[in-house]
Amino acid sequence: MPSSIATNIRGALETSLSGVAASVYSEPPETVIPPAAIIVPDEPYMETEFIGDDSVRVKVNYTVSAAVAYYSNAGSLDNLEQLVISILAALPLSYIVGNVSRPSVTQVGATYLLVSDISISTYYTQTN
């Protein structure tokens, strides 16, 4: 069965994060139920770093957006910090983990969320 980024990268990452006390989305959802960990393609999304063309091999970059309900500064920040730490702990060792962005308030529908983005990267080889 051919590999796919949806299954072998985002799906596998979703499974790894399933132990986190949050809704985990392997792609940006239409609605977010906080607390949530959302896997979002980063910029650049894919980088070609390898020589040769016998297989398509790319470095793929994502952010995992950690989102919690925004009710009060102190409580929400504490919730966000705990969520970020639990996500970092759950990330597979084969992932390169970058920085965690400054929290920001985002409105999704009628819900206010406190969100931080965790930069991660890994490598993908297409197999047929």
Binding footprint of another protein on the chain (CB under 8 A)? 48-55, 57, 96-98, 121, 123, 125
Distance CA 52, CA 107 (A): 45
Which CB sits closer to another protein, 68 or 91? 91
Which CB sits closer to another protein, 15 or 125? 125
Which CB sits closer to another protein, 43 or 54? 54
Distance CA 122, CA 128 (A): 19
Shortest Å, Cβ 50 to another protein: 6
Shortest Å, Cβ 51 to another protein: 4
At position 95, the amino acid (one-letter code) is Y
Shortest Å, Cβ 55 to another protein: 7
Which CB sits closer to another protein, 74 or 93? 93
Shortest Å, Cβ 128 to another protein: 15
DSSP output for 18-60: GGSSSEEESS--SS--SSEEEEEEEEEEEE---S-SSS-EEEE
